[in-house]
Each structure stands twice: as C-alpha cells, then as structure tokens.
Amino acid sequence: MGDSSEDTKPKNEEPKEQRGPLRTIAEIREFDEIFWEVTKGLPIRTGSILKVPSSSYQRYGIELSNSNRLDLKIASQWFYNKDLEELLELEMLHQTQETEETKQKRDVERKMSWVVGEVVREMMHSLAHDDGERRFRVLEIGLRETSATIAGELYRHPETRDLLKRVEFHLLDWSPANLLRTRSMLHKMYDLEVYKHDFLDFESFLSKSQDNEFDFIVSIDSFHHKSTIDFLYEIRRTLARDGALVSGDWHSAFWHHPYNLYKLLEAMGVEERRLSMLAGIFKDLLKPSPGWMAKPEETQAMNEHLDYWLKVQSELKAMGSAGKPRLYMLKAHRTSKEHIENLDLAGFDTDIDKIRVAFPKANLSALPRSVLRGSDFAVVTAGIKKR
C-alpha cells in the first residue's frame, strides 16, 4: 500500500499514455469534474481532488506553482466549505457525524483529548508559578470535548483547581449546535467564561484575530482539513509568546498517491466500470512511484486508514437505503513526521527538551505521543514559538 517502488498496475488498465500536468485553475476544475464521475451516485464519494495535501498535488497530475498556488488554496477551501454547507442545508450534519464517528474513532479522539488536557494543565500550572495573577485564554479549534477535558484536568488536581477561575475558553467550530452544547456544559459544570465563534473555516477566524491573543491553542481532528499549511503561520501569529499549540490529529500518507484511492475503491467492491474509469483518468500516474520508504508505524496507519473507510461503508450498508448521508473521502492527511516538519517551517519548536525549558515546572511526558500502539494514525503534538 502506498507510494512504493513496487512496479504494480491496476488490473483493469495498462496505462501507456502519459498524462500532462494540469497548470491552470480552469484545467484543474475541468479534470476535477471528470474525476467526480468515478464515485457519482455512491454514498461514499471522493470529493474534490484539491482536498488532498498540496504537497501531493504533483502525484495527482497537478502542477503547483507561485502563479496558481493562491487560486488552488481558495478552490480547495471552497470545496471543504461546500461539503459542510451541504450537510447543514440538508440537515444531515448529525447523521453524518454519527456515521463517520465510528466507536473506535470516538474512543481514540477521547484519548487524544485527554493527552492534550494533561499537557495543557501542566503547562498552565508552570506559567502560573511565575505570575500568580495571570489569566489564560484557551482557543479550541473544532470541538471534540477538549476544552471540557482541560477544565476537568484543572479541576481534578487540587494544585490547579483555582486556575479555572482565571481561564477564558474560546470555542471555534462550524456547527452552531456543537458550540451551544459545549458552552452550556462548561458553564453548567464549572461556571466558566466561554465565548463561541461560528466559522466554517478556522483559518479565516485566525486571520481576523490579534497577534499573541491566545495562551493556548488546542485542536483534535481538524488540521487534516487544510490542504496548505498556511494556517500554521496564523496559529503562530495569534499565539502568545510563551504559549503553546497542543493538538491531536489523524495522520496518514494514504492520500499521498492516487494508487491508494484505487486500492480502497477496489476493497470496497466498487464496480469494474468505475475502476476502469479511474485508471483511464490517471493513466501512468496510477502506477506506484519509487522513492518513499514508509516506516512500520506509517504503514500501519495507512492500513488502519483503509480499514476505517471499510467500517464506515459497513455502517452505511446497515442503515438501509433511506436517508443515507453523503460522505467524502479525500482529505489532507499527512504523516506526523510531515506535520512536525511543517511546524518547524512555520516557526515552531516541537523538541520536547526545548518545550520543557519553556515550562520548567511542568511534568511533561514524551511528545509527540501516539495513542495507538505501533501506529502513526493518531498522534498528539505540541509546539512553542521558536525563541
């Protein structure tokens, strides 16, 4: 599985003709519309090709350049927003979330939230030692009960319980219902000061925020919805000089290459006509290319990523024919190694020794931290501004 050196071709197609690179937004949109036809009418569809990581565009036949970069970023975000707006308009948001949130996915996200809560509590406690009156502003991007977990961690430990009175939570999500429910819970359980921000695109919210505005920015299951890494620069700008970004996400190289899409559709039992159509669209690009050697934990993540979509497909089949939500597969997943490299580019330090120096009174375990043994699929990472 993946971008390997194995000289394998899909059995439905022996692509001999090379496909030239797509350069203009018009060419890419035209190709994208042809690409959609592969899964048109199915409950699980590809979605736009522009939703994969921009670093993988070349493998899908898209040439990324300075002249088209902004146009492609805007187009990618438009498709992410369109998919969300479609669910809201059809009033299928809750049903879609229930279908995509398999029990294992929910359990793993809770584990990542718990790690984030533990890390933020330790860091906040360390900062409070230096300034006994300091107030803290925490921004949660994409609600996954992480703010509630942080509050619970602060309350559970006697030495940090009083800190809760000095924390201001900002909740950022595209679901008004999620925002209202989380704010009500935090206010009822801990009498906290909570602000909710309803934005389809969290990067847009960050671009309107002030420099150094938040002491902690936390997130679970959000960053793989961004094809470019521009949002990391916005997070760094809005983060306090001595603050921290602590996030957990799903990491995988699965969408790095269209070959993996072919293998997934094949595993799903998609009809031969559609597989042949995909092979005809990508031609030689569908052949796995050499040059990338996956680590064992990265290979395991890709296998788990494939299994996840097969489980979602099974859930859909169990629902019957009525009222099925429309799901889109392609996202901007990256390996945790790539995420750390991107954090470095954006001006963050992720080295645990440097983080411990920045929070000397914090008892911090090793970071990044995988919450699935032997797998890169779910990883919590922390970053501070480079000093």
**Tens digits of pLDDT across the chain (387 residues):** 544 433 344 554 444 466 778 989 999 999 999 999 999 999 899 999 999 999 999 999 999 999 999 999 999 999 999 988 876 665 555 555 555 667 788 899 999 999 999 999 999 999 998 888 899 999 999 998 999 999 999 999 999 999 999 999 999 998 888 899 999 999 999 999 899 999 999 999 999 999 999 999 999 999 999 999 999 999 999 999 999 999 999 999 999 999 999 999 999 999 999 999 999 999 999 987 776 788 999 999 999 999 999 998 988 888 765 556 778 999 999 999 999 999 999 999 999 999 999 999 999 999 999 999 999 999 999 999 998
Among candidate residues 180, 124, 114, the one with its CA nearest the CA of residue 147: 114
Indicate whether 159 belongs to any domain: yes
> Are 346 and 213 within one domain?
yes
> Are 39 and 85 within one domain?
yes
How many domains are there within the chain? 2
Among candidate residues 366, 369, 357, the one with its CA nearest the CA of residue 126: 357
Domain endpoint, select from 279, 308, 328: 328
| Long-range Cβ contact pairs of 28-32 (< 8 A, separation 24 or more) | 28/62, 28/72, 28/75, 29/75, 31/61, 31/281
How far apart, in whole angstroms, are the C-alpha atoms of residue 370 and residue 50?
A: 28
pLDDT the model gives residue 130? 82
> Are 118 and 208 within one domain?
yes
Indicate whether 38 belongs to any domain: yes
> Are 85 and 151 within one domain?
no
> Are 362 and 304 within one domain?
no
Indicate whether 61 belongs to any domain: yes
Provide the token pair at 301: 């993540």
Is 92 within 8 Å of 123 (Cβ atoms)? no
Domain endpoint, select from 328, 345, 365: 328
How far apart, in whole angstroms, are the C-alpha atoms of residue 349 and residue 327?
A: 36
> Are 125 and 272 within one domain?
no
pLDDT the model gives residue 320? 67
> Are 288 and 379 within one domain?
no
> Are 282 and 269 within one domain?
yes
> Are 184 and 134 within one domain?
yes
Indicate whether 45 belongs to any domain: yes
> Are 83 and 164 within one domain?
no
| Most distant pair of Cα atoms in the chain: their distance | 69
Is 197 within 8 Å of 208 (Cβ atoms)? no
**Reported pTM:** 0.92
> Are 226 and 264 within one domain?
no
Indicate whether 15 belongs to any domain: no
Burial bucket for residue 214 (CB in 10 Å: 0-12, 13-18, 19+): buried
> Are 159 and 271 within one domain?
no
The CATH number for 157's domain is 3.40.50.150
Pairing relationship of beta strands 378-385 and 239-250 according to DSSP bridges: antiparallel
How far apart, in whole angstroms, are the C-alpha atoms of residue 294 and residue 315?
A: 30
Among candidate residues 142, 141, 161, the one with its CA nearest the CA of residue 151: 161
* List of residues 6+ apart from 347 with CB closer than 8 A: 233, 236, 385, 386
Indicate whether 9 belongs to any domain: no
Angle at CA of residue 257, ends 253 and 259, nearest 5°: 120
Indicate whether 12 belongs to any domain: no
- As a 3-state breakdown, the chain gives helix, strand, coil percent values, each rounded to 5, of 50, 15, 35
pLDDT the model gives residue 90? 54
Among candidate residues 347, 253, 332, the one with its CA nearest the CA of residue 51: 332
Domain endpoint, select from 328, 343, 370: 328
Q: Domain span at residue 41?
A: 25-100+255-328
pLDDT the model gives residue 16? 47
